[in-house]
Amino acid sequence: MLKVENVSVNYGAIKALQNVSFQINQGEIVALIGANGAGKTTILNTISNIVPSVGGKITYLDKEITKLPPHEIVKLGISQVPEGRRVFAKMSVLENLEMGAYTRSDNEVASDMEKIFQRFPRLNERKKQPAKTLSGGEQQMLAMGRALMSRPKLLLLDEPSMGLAPMLVEQIFQIIQEINASGTTILLVEQNANMALSIAHRAYVLETGEVVLQGDAKELASNPEVRKAYLGE
């Protein structure tokens, strides 16, 4: 479904990504794990072309998207839930969700909105409130709901558990599995490697902008190097 081939990204003199290659098959949850500064967020931002690459190629459903503008990438079916939620603070929950559908011109936006409210009942209760009045967990749900309003085939999730209480983390990860089960492919960037590997089908380990390990998520979870470096053993 998505193929990243030898992608490199620089921030000035800093090499953020160096010849990164990986692929995602339709229907999978694929996790990217690694320490802070490993390049995980940069990969998502490069797929969305928020951060341009200096080399390599990204193909989505057999179409090259490396140079496409971000809104065109959203139209093709890739949507990103950014790190730190990035909700529109002064806009209402409803308005935030409507912004998620800004590339759409069909007549099913209202019915999709209802589906979001069924998946996230707390958002329905607070739909007229400004987004800044929501708790961290509710803002994460809103960011995910907003991304789903574009009807993505591939959802990019950046640190969905960041700053959330353990009980909420479990809830968010359960929702991610439900979204995947309903037909959406997921690329998950997550520092909570234990949780990420517990729900992913496959995973890639990044270190200083390079893929150093890859494989079945359960195999990586039992790999001694991964356990020592990322699972606190």
Strands of the sheet with 63-64, listed across from one edge: 14-24, 2-11, 55-60, 63-64
For residue 128, pLDDT over 90 is answered with: yes
Confidence of residue 85 (pLDDT cuts 50, 70, 90): confident
Tokens of 87: 């909700």
113: CB partners within 8 A, 6+ apart: 94, 97, 98, 149
DSSP labels, the chain: -EEEEEEEEEETTEEEEEEEEEEE-TT-EEEEEE-TTSSHHHHHHHHTTSS--SEEEEEETTEE-TTS-HHHHHHHTEEEE-TT----TTSBHHHHHHHHTTT--SS-HHHHHHHHHHH-HHHHHTTTSBGGGS-HHHHHHHHHHHHHTT--SEEEEE-TTTT--HHHHHHHHHHHHHHHHTT-EEEEE-S-HHHHHHH-SEEEEEETTEEEEEEEHHHHHT-HHHHHHHS--
Average pLDDT over residues 122-141: 92
Domain locations in the chain as residue ranges: 1-77+155-163+184-232
- What is the predicted pLDDT for the residue at 173? 94
Residue 205 has pLDDT above 70, yes or no: yes
pLDDT of residue 233: 62
Tens of pLDDT, residues 73-84: 999 999 999 987
Q: Give the max Cα distance, the chain.
A: 52
Residue 92 CA to residue 95 CA, distance in Å, equals 5
Q: Which fold has domain 1-77+155-163+184-232?
A: Rossmann fold (3.40.50)
For the full predicted model, state whether its pTM sits above 0.85. Answer: yes
